[in-house]
Structure 1
């Protein structure tokens, strides 16, 4: 691994002495390392079992967020596009962490990021949610995109994996038919992080919020916020602060469960039946 890291650093024109290589915990998919050279410290992710666009999708998402100027992300220095079982790396800026889950401006910064928009919904190229491939196309309405590429994509994956069948499959199909009556057809198409749980943001040593590991798309900002409420890990005043800069829709509490459903389906398809009861509870609430 040390040799591969040294070869990767050459791709960013850093041939200085490597002072330290330390494994970093916290990721389930990649091997991650803190690497310090005479030139600077780096955060490097390595994998040899990912699709060719895996690190590219993350790097492009970080670039889009950075271009908004609304919130900090790690600078990307290099990413590989592997072929087959080739080992691949993503080389980024190392950001020193500050106090965990404390940021006076996360809500404000995210609200400003969400005000960068597109004329269409979706993303136009595949991304990932965890280890699951997320197909995306541009759609003229949010309802079409959410039905086809979010709920429909998880349904297809779940049927193939055997995690969605029987009454669960029947209910999900019925709910997909009702999507247009539950979520807005044409909300503002905000730039979304797409996988914003408590582990995908941090606070820098200076106290600035930092987003990591995006799965970007353009869609209803309520979709993003619903996920922030699913597993916790955000400041207690986060939603109030956000709402002061970008008001939540009046029907947010009504749409929140169907937006959380996508992430619960993804967790069901990745981790198994431990998320099944939550999925079933939401399906029953909507379709009986």
Structure 2
């Protein structure tokens, strides 16, 4: 009965967004959703028309709305392919985000990764005149991600990325020494990079959020969008195993990284490792401590 109501709501929302009548049939769950239930939405009138849905609780509508607007902001740059965002809404029992349904594979060769590097660099050339942040908060996985507009990248990253996750980690019983010293080291390191441009970044760019169409066109999805130092995206592609070297060569040909990236990479990835500790615990706490020690020895 609940899914009947949800199908009716999705039908009306998609019809309104597309300007064409659509009668939804909720298909079985598909893989890939670490937060929401992910499903293919079928058409009761057409075998070929399908959409992709993330379905959550009513309280998660704000999270799904933030993803909708994040995907939309990147999609509208026309620099790199994302699933086109269609609509979001909620019922008294569910919330949902509807996206274009794309048939993707993780298998790709040299040409595909070169194109990914070039297109990501072009996305990163999209900037904001409001500084670092975004017009709304969003999430990194299920964890809140704060995005107040800030003129200083160092201030933004230290306060709204690293320190925020460190406070969560302390509540989750991760003990670390020299917190003030670490944050001072990070401030000093980030301040060494001059004229950081507020680039439009994916925010959660690892191999699991990258796919390729059968044509070879790269697709990125599941973003945690904001305007920040573009190096945060490149750094995360190295966190859980590097992408093929062709990606990095092509990116640097299009938009070269600057001196000091190798140290900043560890700082930027500490944010994600702390987030993984706050979500999953265990080995991520040890990894975070090791990264903190490495940062303390930098300068």
Query: Offset at 1:159?
Result: 2.1
| TM-score scaled by length of structure 1 | 0.91
Which secondary structure state, in structure 2, belongs to the residue aligned with residue 237 of structure 1?
helix
Mapped pair 1:214 → 2:216:
no
* 1:175 and 2:182 matched: yes
- Check conservation: 2:210, 2:219, Cα contact below 8 A: yes
Within 1, Cα distance between the matches of 2:106 and 2:243? 13
**Structure 2 residue aligned with 1:111, among 121, 145, 164?**
121
Distance 1:29 1:238, change over 3 A: same
Q: What secondary structure, in the 3-state scheme, does the structure 2 residue paired with 1:123 have?
A: coil
Query: Using the alignment, how far apart are the partners of 2:26 and 2:35 within structure 1?
Result: 23
Greater Cα offset, 92-101 or 218-227? 92-101
Give 4+ residue runs of structure 1 displaced > 4 Å after superposition: 14-20
Whether 2:239 is the aligned partner of 1:237: answer no
Query: Displacement, 1:185?
Result: 5.6
Q: Distance in 1 between matches of 2:210 and 2:41?
A: 21
Identify the residue that residue 27 of structure 1 maps to in structure 2: 33
Structure 2 counterpart SS, 1:57: helix
1:109-129 C-alpha deviation (Å, 9 max, x unpaired): 000000111231122421100
Report the TM-score when normalising by structure 2: 0.87
RMSD: 2.1
Is this contact kept in 2: 1:56–1:79, CA < 8 A?
Answer: yes
In the TM superposition, what are the counterparts of 1:1-288 in structure 2 within 5 Å? Answer: 2-3=3-4, 4-13=6-15, 16=22, 21-37=27-43, 38-39=45-46, 40-48=49-57, 50-80=59-89, 86-98=93-105, 100-102=107-109, 103-104=112-113, 105-119=115-129, 120-162=131-173, 164-165=174-175, 168=176, 170-183=177-190, 184=193, 186-232=195-241, 234-287=243-296
What is the alpha-carbon distance in structure 1 between the residues aligned to residue 72 and residue 22 of structure 2?
27
Task: Return the offset for 1:187.
Answer: 0.7
Q: 1:99, CA displacement in angstroms?
A: 5.2
Check whether the contact 2:7–2:26 (CA below 8 A) recurs between aligned residues: no
Change beyond 3 A, Cα 1:140–1:18? closer
Q: Which runs of 5+ in 2 are unaligned?
A: none
Q: Which moved more, 1:1-10 or 1:222-231?
A: 1-10
